[in-house]
Structure 1
Amino acid sequence: MLVLGLILLLLGIFLNISILWTIGVILLVVGAVLYLLGATGRAVGGRKHWY
């Protein structure tokens, strides 16, 4: 999710499409929160590990 958010953010900036920029920022924030929760060992969505 972090990579997808970064790609959309960069595409939105370079192509000057504001909706891609907005979605990219949202995905980056959500991905960072999920990463931090997973790194602390907290179960996310009822699972400790996602494969």
Structure 2
Amino acid sequence: MLRWTLIFLVIALIAAVFGFTGIAAGAAGIAKILFYIFIVIFLVSLIMGMLKKG
């Protein structure tokens, strides 16, 4: 999932450089949402791993 976040971030940066502000904003928004989802899944798996060990 982090890979998709980076892909959308790169798309947003390239679109912003070429002046496609609508596409850049959309791709940046998607990248932000995917990043937050990744963080939540990471924290849940970290907590589950700690509970499983102890």
- Between the aligned residues of both structures, percent identity stands at 5
Tell me the TM-score normalised to structure 1 length.
0.63
Which is richer in helix?
A: 2
Structure 2 unmatched runs, 5+: 46-54
Matched residue count = 42
RMSD over aligned Cα atoms = 1.5
Question: Whose relative contact order is higher, 1 or 2, with alpha carbons under 8 Å and at least 6 apart?
Answer: 2
Determine which structure has more spread, i.e. the larger CA radius of gyration.
2
Runs of 4+ in 1 over 4 A off after TM superposition: none
Structure 1 unmatched runs, 5+: 43-51
